[in-house]
Structure 1
C-alpha cells in the first residue's frame, strides 16, 4: 500500500489524472463527513470538496508525501466551510461553535484530524464487509438515514436492515478490538455519536 501511495504521489506530480482519482477515492468519505459536520448542507459540502480537489490538482507539484496531501485537503475543506459559515449564507445553529474553533484551532483541528482518520479506517474496513452490510452501514452512519429510509431505498424489510447493520457493527467491533483498544474505544464513541 505504501509503495502504491508513493507511486500515486509521483504520478500526481507528473500530472496523471488517475492519481487524482486515487486520492479522491482515498479521502472522499471522510472529507464529506467532515464538511457535513460543519455546514449541514450536502450540496455545498460536495461543492467545497470538489474545489479542494481542484486546488490539490493546481498545486500538484508541491506534494511529496501522503500526509501533506491529507493535511492540505482537510485544511482547504475546513477553511472553505468556515468561509461559508461566515458569509451568512448558512444559518446553521452550530455557527458559534465553528467560529469558536477559529480562535482555538490547534487542539481542535488535531482532534478533528484524529476523528477523521478514524473515519478513514472505518471506511477501509467497511469496504471489506459484504456489499449490503457496507451499504446499510454507510447509509446509516455517514448519510444519516433512518431504518425506514434505508428500507425504502433498498426495497427490503426493516428487520433485514437491523440485522445487516448489527452484523456490520459486530464485525467492525471485532476488527477494531484486534487492532488496538484505543481504536476500539474511538469506534464505540463514533457509533454512539452518529446514530
Structure 2
C-alpha cells in the first residue's frame, strides 16, 4: 500500500468529492499558505480565515483541476486576492496602506518573494521534524518556543552542555542538508535561526 498518494489519485478522488484528497491538499499547502497570507496582512487569525475560505472555494470548484500545480496556482492566487481585499477594507490603517502599495503598485515581485519564502520555510520545518529525536526537541524548544538553554535543559532533564551540543549538531545537520538541496533554503535557514517568527511556530504546530 502506498503511504503517499499519487497526484493522479488525488485529482481523481478530489473530482469525485473524496475528503481524503482535500485532507492531502490541506497537509501539503495549508501551512505555507498561512505563512504567505500572514506576511501580507500581518494578522495570523485573518490569514487563517483567508486560507480556510480559499480551500472552500477550491472544494466548490474541485472538478476544474487537472494537476496539483493547477491547484497550487489557484490557491496562491485566491489567497493573494483575498489578502488584497482585506487590506483594501482596512486601508485606514497606515501600515496596511503600505502593504497595499506593495500588492497593487510596482512591487509585484513582493508577492512572488513571499510565495517562495513560505514554501522554503515549510521545507525547513520538514527537515527539523526529520532531525534525530533529541536534536529536534532541542531545536523546537530553543528556536520555536524561544526558551533559553537553561530552560531547555530543565524541560528535557539534560545538562546545559548537552543542550548546546545538540543545538550545534542540529544546526550543522540542517545546514548540510539544505545546502546540498537548495541554496535559497540554506540562506533562509540562517535567517530563521537568527530570528524565529510566530509564523514558523504555526508551521511547527501543523507539521
Query: What secondary structure does 2:6 align onto?
Result: helix
Match of 1:146 in 2: 146
Give the Cα–Cα distance (whole angstroms) in 1 for the partners of residues 33 and 133 of structure 2.
22
Query: What TM-score, normalized to structure 1?
Result: 0.75
Report Cα offsets for 1:70-94 as digits up to 9, x if no partner. Answer: 1211222222222222212894735
Q: Distance in 1 between matches of 2:95 and 2:36?
A: 17
Alignment of 1:51-90 (within 5 A): 51-88=53-90
Shift in CA distance, 39/147, structure 1 to aligned 2, threshold 3 Å: farther
How many Å separate the matches in 1 of 2:181 and 2:164? 26
SS in 2 for 1:147: coil
In the aligned structure 2, how far is the partner of 1:101 from the partner of 1:126?
Answer: 32
> Structure 2-normalised TM-score?
0.72
- 1:42 equivalent in structure 2: 44
Check conservation: 1:39, 1:92, Cα contact below 8 A: no
Q: Quick one: higher RCO (CA 8 Å, sep 6+), 1 or 2?
A: 2
Partner of 2:33: 31
What's the offset of the Cα at 1:95? 3.9
Structure-2 residue corresponding to 1:118: 120
Report if aligned partners of 1:27, 1:120 keep a CA contact under 8 Å in 2.
Answer: no
Using the TM superposition, name which of 122-131 and 159-168 deviates more.
159-168
Whole-angstrom distance in 2 between the partners of 1:138 and 1:56: 33
In 2, distance between residues paired with 1:68 and 1:62? 9
Bigger mean CA deviation after superposition, 99-108 or 8-17: 99-108
Larger radius of gyration between Structure 1 and Structure 2: 2
Instruction: Give the direction of change, closer, same or farther, for the CA distance of 1:182–1:17 in structure 2 (3 Å limit).
Output: same
Q: Evaluate the alpha carbon distance shift between residue 82 and residue 133 of structure 1 in structure 2; reply closer, same or farther with a 3 A threshold.
A: farther
TM-superposed CA distance for 1:192, in Å, is: 4.3
Long gaps (5+) in structure 2: 198-207
SS in 1 for 2:77: helix
